[in-house]
DNA sequence: CGCTATTGAATGAACGTTCAACAAACTTGT
DNA sequence: ACAAGTTTGTTGAACGTTCATTCAATAGCG
């Protein structure tokens, strides 16, 4: 029964119990199997048979729950994007209200242990690289960025006033966000060679350089 | 004859003349058709029939010149990577030897008009996102990074001494490179919405912020 | 007449989707 | 409470399509 990469779902125990699980749970199970397959095999090599096998279910199951492969992938990208957005917004809300804490919350949220796994990064990049042509995915990726970036820009504007910095706040926000995406890309590509902690170090050092009045160098 | 997205190759004129073209040219022609298809349709939807049609040749042609689809894609990724590396190394060599000019050359080379087209970015990301699992591509991507990053780190070390900066040069180099990759990603995703010039502005502003002794703010 | 490049049809494998059959879980009638 | 009927979830085989690859036939070249 325990093959490969099972998840936090409590085991279904009996066949009867498994069947009673609600529809939403089964969908999430299939989405998780999809993420696994995307991460392990890539977009092109991800087949519905892989997904079904990964979830320990039979061949026709995906079309029953998602109607089509395309729809499954769309739901998967939405799942990842919702998780991402919920995470950084919660982290920012929890943080202290001063500018430095808010900024720190924004950048560390993106490198959170829950979000920033090799598995999810690989799946995310596989999807957006491929989905570029499809308008539906495109919109989702844009939306994901837009919210985060506008918040980041506001904080940079505030920091500029407080610290009397010379930088252009829009450029600075763009640069920080681009840096994060670049670090994700590195972690995705060189999973074993470039860890979350290293990326976090780079980000913190950079904050010290750009916002010296808000962050001190503590080594 | 003139369909879609032809390239800088001078037209072959007659059938006989076309046949006389050397093998290397035909290979490059097919690689260009591959880049076109990757950019337009993505990795998963790129078929050998697309490539052959794009080059205006017949179905079996790719297997004759490249033996297999996988090999064609490997050669395509190598083509892009060679072009990229040659470009920034030439740009750096041409630049003045002072630290500021060298740094400027490194970062502007990556945003060069020749390298930084929507077409090539889209193809590049499609390949590396998918190629993550395949060791051969992986090595190429790593090699591409390694050379650029070590050069960038050296320059950052020099700049630190000259400008008496507080930053960690390794982190700074990592941050700059990550930023560039992030900007590529944006340009790839939002082709029409995020142009080369915008990215260049962000990079220059950031250099002013990080290296105030080397770059002045000129607005 | 070899030799090399090219063509286009044939082949076979892989895959998404459909669907009839089945099983478990609910609902209803008595 | 329980049998009969209905709904819902699941299975696996079958189907049709798409695609990479192979190859015999062809055409230009020295």
Question: If you average pLDDT over every residue of chain A, what do you get?
Answer: 89
Tell the CATH topology of A1-67: Arc Repressor Mutant, subunit A (1.10.10)
Which residues in chain B are classed under CATH 1.10.357.10? 70-219
Distance from C-alpha of A205 to C-alpha of A218, rounded to nearest angstrom? 9
With CA atoms as reference, report the closest residue to A198 among B205, B73, B111, B170: B170
Distance from C-alpha of B189 to C-alpha of B192, rounded to nearest angstrom? 9
Closest in A43, A125, A183 to B44, CB measured: A43
Kindly identify which residue of chain B lies nearest to residue A193, measuring between CA atoms: B142
Instruction: Please identify residues in chain A, positions 12-31, with a C-beta within 7 angstroms of any atom of strand D.
Output: 18-19, 21, 23, 26
- Residue A20 reports pLDDT greater than 50: yes
Q: Which of B81, B136, B181, B199 to mutate to test the interface with A (most CBs of A within 10 A)?
A: B181
For residue A37, name the pLDDT band (cuts at 50, 70, 90): very high
Q: What is the pLDDT of residue A4?
A: 38
Q: What is the pLDDT of residue B133?
A: 76
Q: What is the pLDDT of residue B9?
A: 44
Q: What is the pLDDT of residue B21?
A: 62
On whether the CB atoms of residues B71 and A70 are closer than 8 A, the answer is: no
Q: What is the pLDDT of residue B136?
A: 78
Query: How far: B64 CA to C8 C1' (Å)?
Result: 14
In chain A, % of residues over pLDDT 90: 77
With CA atoms as reference, report the closest residue to B206 among B170, B174, B167, B179: B179
Is A182 in contact with B182 (Cβ distance < 8 A)?
yes
- Residue A98 reports pLDDT greater than 50: yes
Q: Which class is B70-219 in CATH?
A: mainly alpha
pLDDT, tens digit, for every residue of B12-67?
445 555 555 678 899 999 999 999 999 999 999 999 999 999 999 999 999 999 99
Is A42 in contact with B133 (Cβ distance < 8 A)?
yes
Distance from C-alpha of A209 to C-alpha of A214, rounded to nearest angstrom? 10
The region of weakest confidence among A24-28, A56-60, B70-74, B129-133 is: B129-133
Q: How many CA atoms lie within 13 A of B74 on its CB side?
A: 12
Query: How far: A129 CA to C30 C1' (Å)?
Result: 62
Residue B129 DSSP label: H
Which residues in chain B are classed under CATH 1.10.10.60? 1-67
- What's the whole-model pTM score? 0.90
Query: How far: B82 CA to D15 C1' (Å)?
Result: 46
Q: What is the pLDDT of residue B172?
A: 98
Those nucleotides of strand C lying less than 7 Å from any protein Cβ are 5-10, 14-20, 24-26
Enumerate residues 61 to 100 of chain A having a beta carbon within 8 A of any beta carbon in chain B: none
pLDDT, tens digit, for every residue of A144-183?
889 999 999 999 999 999 999 999 999 999 999 999 999 9
**Within 10 A of A114 (CB to CB), how many other CB atoms are there?**
10
Is B129 in contact with A130 (Cβ distance < 8 A)?
yes
Q: What is the pLDDT of residue A101?
A: 97
């Amino acid at each position: 029964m325990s093959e490969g990469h099972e998840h936090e779902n409590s085991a279904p125990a009996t066949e009867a119990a498994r069947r009673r699980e609600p529809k939403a749970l089964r969908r999430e199970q299939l989405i998780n199997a999809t993420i696994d397959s995307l991460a392990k095999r890539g977009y092109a090599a991800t087949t519905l048979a892989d997904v079904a096998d990964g979830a320990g279910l039979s061949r026709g199951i995906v079309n029953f729950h998602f109607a089509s492969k395309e729809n499954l992938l769309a739901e998967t990208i939405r799942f990842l994007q919702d998780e991402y957005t919920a995470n950084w917004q919660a982290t920012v809300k929890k943080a202290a209200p001063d500018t430095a804490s808010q900024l720190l919350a924004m950048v560390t949220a993106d490198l959170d242990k829950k979000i920033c796994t090799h598995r999810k990064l690989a799946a995310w990049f596989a999807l957006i690289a491929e989905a570029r042509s499809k308008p539906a995915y495109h919109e989702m990726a844009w939306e994901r960025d837009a919210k985060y970036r506008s918040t980041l820009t506001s904080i940079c504007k505030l920091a500029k006033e407080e610290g009397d910095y010379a930088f252009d706040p829009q450029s600075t926000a763009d640069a920080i966000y681009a840096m994060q995406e670049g670090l994700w890309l590195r972690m995705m590509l060189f999973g074993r060679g470039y860890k979350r902690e290293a990326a976090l170090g780079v980000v913190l050092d950079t904050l010290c350089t750009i916002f010296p009045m808000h962050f001190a160098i503590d080594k």
